[in-house]
Amino acid sequence: MTTTAPQPPPDPLAPPLLDAQGRRMTYLRLSITDRCNFRCTYCSPASWGGKKDLLTAEELARISAVFASMGIRRVRLTGGEPLIRPDIVDVSRRIAALPGIRNVAITTNASHLAALAVPLREAGVTQLNISLDTLSPETFRRISKQGDFDAILRGIDAAAAAGYASLKLNAVVMRGVNDGEAAALVAYAHARGITPRFIELMPFGQGQPVPTAELVEQLRASGLALEPEPEEQEEAAASPTSGPARYWRTPAGRVGFISPLTQNFCGGCNRVRVASNGDLRSCLGGRAQAPLHQLIRGGATDVELAVAIRRALGDKPDGHRFTEPGNDATLLSMMGIGG
């Protein structure tokens, strides 16, 4: 049976923004740097040198404005480590002020949050996702040879005190490395009013993943009263800007699980990604792209940018190819695409 590709609206700048499967894109993940002050084994290969030509604050705001006119409602600033950009507060403020943007989020390793938590919230950032894979300084050094572990903990406490609408703690779980720390990470996060989330390791770097179902049973065995969030509650909490996590309940709060390998979430994908040099990538696990930075610097109009965006999304696959044999050789590093 043949399928007909969704037809774009007469005005390329008008919503909805649909991919090849008719999924509505409402969530932009915008990498603002591929440099990082850490070198985590699962994210940043030793050979990664970084791109030399990053988007400026003005270019980031323009790309975000075009996406907002097309129906994007949430922008997440990623990296690398986005807080190492000296203009991070200015970038955040510009994007938060755009018509149509309801939510600006940042994913960070927290190493600069002690100084930036309050300025970022005042600039309009509504959510922080903080990466913390371990509570052990020794295990941290095993995962990343660089970084100030105490600065991370200070940054997390600063974020918890700063009054954000949403704080999440992301832990990538690796067998034999930090897979015994899940219960401690849940307790640590809930004590600070933060929602912990556990992510299955994706095939971008070193390490072995732990399936979500195994981790859930481990948490229950530790004594944590963990129950799936009722479907009606999950649907009520969902929004056009929500991400791929599935949530469970405990007496102290929610626990999220992101399971790209064992509980594929591609069917509900609402995300489009732009790398730090301006390449639009239609899928985390694919290579279809549009060079938005080249178009901007070549004098393209907003309509021409919108046409290029729609063309790239017309090549977006129905799902990632993480588990296909040999596909790891074709994947970019997590640092290269911004997660």
Residue 237 has pLDDT above 60, yes or no: no
Instruction: Give 136-169 pLDDT, tens digit per residue.
Output: 999 999 999 888 999 999 999 999 999 999 999 9
Residue 49 has pLDDT above 60, yes or no: no
Confirm or deny that 40 is annotated as ligand binding.
Answer: yes
pLDDT on residue 136: 98
Residue 227 has pLDDT above 60, yes or no: yes
Confirm or deny that 269 is annotated as ligand binding.
Answer: yes
Confirm or deny that 26 is annotated as ligand binding.
Answer: no
Residues 306, 66: contact at Cβ < 8 Å? yes
Confirm or deny that 62 is annotated as ligand binding.
Answer: no
Confirm or deny that 80 is annotated as ligand binding.
Answer: yes
> Considering the domain boundaries, does residue 208 fall inside one?
yes
How many folded domains does the chain comprise? 1
pLDDT on residue 269: 83
> Considering the domain boundaries, does residue 130 fall inside one?
yes
The whole-chain average pLDDT of the chain stands at 87
Instruction: Give 61-97 pLDDT, tens digit per residue.
Output: 999 999 999 999 999 999 999 999 999 999 999 999 9
pLDDT on residue 21: 86
pLDDT on residue 282: 75
CA 335 from centre of chain: 11
Confirm or deny that 242 is annotated as ligand binding.
Answer: no
pLDDT grade, residue 329 (50/70/90)?
A: very low
> Considering the domain boundaries, does residue 13 fall inside one?
no
pLDDT grade, residue 288 (50/70/90)?
A: low
pLDDT grade, residue 10 (50/70/90)?
A: confident
Confirm or deny that 202 is annotated as ligand binding.
Answer: yes
Confirm or deny that 36 is annotated as ligand binding.
Answer: yes
- 12 CB-near residues (< 8 Å, 6+ apart): 70, 303, 306, 307, 310
CA 170/CA 199 separation, integer angstroms: 7
pLDDT on residue 114: 98
> Considering the domain boundaries, does residue 53 fall inside one?
yes
Instruction: Give CA angle at 284 (322, 102), nearest 5°.
Output: 140
Closest CA to 277 of 87, 89, 63, 116: 63
> Considering the domain boundaries, does residue 240 fall inside one?
yes
- What one-character-per-residue DSSP string does 297-314 give? HTT--HHHHHHHHHHHHT
pLDDT on residue 309: 95
**Domain limits for position 146:** 27-337
Tokens linked to 49: 């040198």
Confirm or deny that 76 is annotated as ligand binding.
Answer: yes
> Considering the domain boundaries, does residue 156 fall inside one?
yes
> Considering the domain boundaries, does residue 160 fall inside one?
yes
The residue-averaged pLDDT of 250-272 equals: 84
Confirm or deny that 287 is annotated as ligand binding.
Answer: no
CA 306/CA 63 separation, integer angstroms: 9
pLDDT on residue 331: 45
The residue-averaged pLDDT of 184-203 equals: 95
> Considering the domain boundaries, does residue 14 fall inside one?
no
Q: CATH number, domain at 284?
A: 3.20.20.70
Instruction: Give 22-40 pLDDT, tens digit per residue.
Output: 999 999 999 999 889 888 8
Confirm or deny that 271 is annotated as ligand binding.
Answer: yes
Q: What is the dihedral of CA 205, 208, 209, 214, to 10 degrees?
A: -170
User: Hey, which residues does 172 pair with through a beta bridge?
Assistant: 199
Confirm or deny that 188 is annotated as ligand binding.
Answer: no
Confirm or deny that 27 is annotated as ligand binding.
Answer: no
